[in-house]
Amino acid sequence: MIIATVYDINSVEQFSKAGIHAILLGAKGFSVRACKEVDLDELKIWKSACDTYNIRIYMNCLKLIEQQEIEEIKLLLKTYQAIGIDGIYIADEGIMEICDSMQLSMELIYQPETLMTNAMDVDFYIDQGIHAVCLAHELSLDEILNIADKNSNVEILAFGYFSVLYSRRPLISNYLKAINSKYIYKEQRLDLIEQTRTGRMPIYEDKNGTYIFSEQPINSFDQIAAFKKAGIHRFRIDSIFFDDQWTLDLMSCIQKKQRPSLGSDHWYHQTTTKVKEPDHEKN
């Protein structure tokens, strides 16, 4: 199953023809890092278009829910079920609890970006009724295959930038105020370059916080066969900082069995270490 983020409703037909099985939209007010947020009226139109082309709809509800938002998210989830949304991506156990108590039957995909680093933790969430668990991006290929060997109900971000930091704070706005900058920030992508390096990490801020992304998008073309062999059957394409044509070009490459040129797979070949050396410590 290939799940892809999307920007334009007019792309749904092309996505379907390109072999994409599901789209991922942002829940207005409750999504983070979404390419396209939709309200309920817009969602009904998207649902109709997706039904026409036999595409499933998942909603990005990845915000960590604050107590005062609970009633609002309950209502939203109930409405999603009524509309016929196939599932929601979540990062907050509170939403699992809400769905359980309201007996909602939509699929829940647990996507905390980090946290999910071993098969026992995957098992835990699957046992709670979660449909699939998105693995942490810092895992090596061997670690992913090890996990999938024990529990294959996992999802992989196959292509696209991934989040490396999620802060609740308005980090860009705060900095601009601190330096008395006249720059007007409009929630668009900026880049961070560490002062001794050259690589750029995308950063942006919205009302839910600030997000920093990997220097390059991940490109899992060379690993997909191994993933499939290990039983993994959910692959996500995240087109943040790109557009729908990028996704379509990507799908075209995959179908032609040509490696897309953009991005890197170096994360699969390296392992992170547990201990930092005092000599290397900064600050």
205: phi > 0 → left, psi -120 to 50 → alpha, else beta; which?
beta
Q: Which of 111, 101, 114 is nearest to 132 (CA)?
A: 111
Comparing CB distances to another protein, the nearer of 17 and 183 is: 183
Is 237 exposed, middle or buried (CB count within 10 Å of its CB: 0-12, 13-18, 19+)? buried
Comparing CB distances to another protein, the nearer of 79 and 174 is: 174
Q: What are phi and psi of 83, to 5 degrees?
A: -70, -25
- Which tokens go with 9? 């409703």
Comparing CB distances to another protein, the nearer of 46 and 162 is: 162
Q: Kindly state the smallest distance separating residue 267's Cβ from another protein, in Å.
A: 9
Q: Kindly state the smallest distance separating residue 68's Cβ from another protein, in Å.
A: 7
Q: At what angle do helices 119-127 and 141-150 cross, to 10 degrees?
A: 40
Q: Kindly state the smallest distance separating residue 79's Cβ from another protein, in Å.
A: 18
Comparing CB distances to another protein, the nearer of 171 and 262 is: 171
- Which tokens go with 89? 């991506």
Q: How many residues does the chain have?
A: 283
Q: Kindly state the smallest distance separating residue 130's Cβ from another protein, in Å.
A: 11
Comparing CB distances to another protein, the nearer of 54 and 272 is: 272
Q: Kindly state the smallest distance separating residue 162's Cβ from another protein, in Å.
A: 9
Q: What are phi and psi of 212, to 5 degrees?
A: -120, 140
Q: Give the Cα separation of 59 and 99 in Å (integer).
A: 14
- Which tokens go with 125? 């969430």
Comparing CB distances to another protein, the nearer of 131 and 200 is: 200
SS3 (DSSP) at 62:
coil
Q: Kindly state the smallest distance separating residue 281's Cβ from another protein, in Å.
A: 7
